[in-house]
Amino acid sequence: MKSQTMRSRISTTSSAAPEHGVSGSAFEAALPFPPLFSVASHWADPWLVVAGTRTGTRHATQGVPTDDAVLVTRCGPHALLAVADGAGDPRATRSSEGAARAVAIAAAAAHRSWSIYGADSQLLVEALAAARVDLIARAHAESLDPVVFATTLTLVLLAGDRLVSARIGDGSVYTWDGNQLVRFCSVPLAETATPMLTQPDWRTWLATADQERPFVQGLVVCSDGADDFFLDDAPTGRAPSANMFKGLSDFHDQYGPTAGVSYAMQMLNNPDWARRTADDRSFVFALKPQTAKATPHARLQR
């Protein structure tokens, strides 16, 4: 029986010129309208992936779109997760577009470069570089300062038991072993301002990770607005908490693979969590079902 693979994909193009081995002709991204609220699930064997985003109260009351962007797509035979968060800097007047372009162009670049790098952190570094080139080129084409498109960007490749990541800026990546939630691919942060993909010294703030982690049962990539979902009070300050992952896992065990969408909706709609931050909240969960009977395919055969 053939193994199931991810059922969602994106095809994008960029106006970016090649940089650091990122090849390709000129092409342009078709960007969706920014969502007010969006939840989707994907089956990326052996991972069940749930992505969610919600416009924060600050943007909602101002009548402006979210500046977060989330993408789950195919890269080679694996799943690529991308989360970007446009800058809140007053100069970053088109950061929402910058975030959307960043995830789309990075995904397209990773797809094109798969045959060169395979599942390696350099693949994702080149994808970030391609996204940056696109944003700079777009700004120059309109005689703008690139800061108008300022955004963070986090990429994670789920390559079976191997986890590969490259990122710049705030937000977090956590892994869950069924018990504890721990940070993965921690990124250096400046004391004065969050590092952005568009700044000249972006590579100074770049972080990468490439590890075999067969014990990992779950992973989450989130913007800084959603980080509080995965933190709790501790003697030394705020520390990673596995409560949300345990809840998702229990929900999955009780209601099946599609329960992840309901769980994500409850998280994003919870008024208590909404009062904690006015920022946009975006995340991508990846849960590895522990038995074959827990997979969507197996359940459909019943």
**In whole angstroms, how far apart are CA 284 and each of 51, 64, 133, 220, 247?**
4, 23, 25, 5, 15
**In whole angstroms, how far apart are CA 73 and each of 42, 144, 156?**
9, 30, 11
Task: State the pLDDT at residue 78.
Answer: 95
Q: What are phi and psi of 75, to 5 degrees?
A: -140, 105
267 is written with which tokens?
Answer: 């998280």
Report the alpha-carbon distance of residue 41 to residue 109 in Å, rounded. 23
Task: State the pLDDT at residue 54.
Answer: 85
Q: List domains and CATH numbers for the chain.
A: 37-300 (3.60.40.10)
Beta carbons within 8 Å of 142's beta carbon, 6+ residues apart? none
pTM of the model: 0.84
pLDDT tens for the chain, residues 1 to 302: 433 333 333 333 333 334 444 433 445 667 777 777 889 999 998 899 999 988 776 766 776 667 899 999 999 999 999 999 999 888 999 999 999 999 999 999 999 999 999 999 999 999 999 999 999 999 999 999 999 999 999 999 999 899 999 999 998 999 999 999 999 998 777 777 899 999 999 999 999 999 999 999 999 999 988 888 888 877 777 889 999 889 888 888 888 878 888 888 888 888 776 667 767 889 999 998 764 334 444 433 33
Task: State the pLDDT at residue 274.
Answer: 65
Task: State the pLDDT at residue 300.
Answer: 35
Task: State the pLDDT at residue 57.
Answer: 67
89 is written with which tokens?
Answer: 């800097």
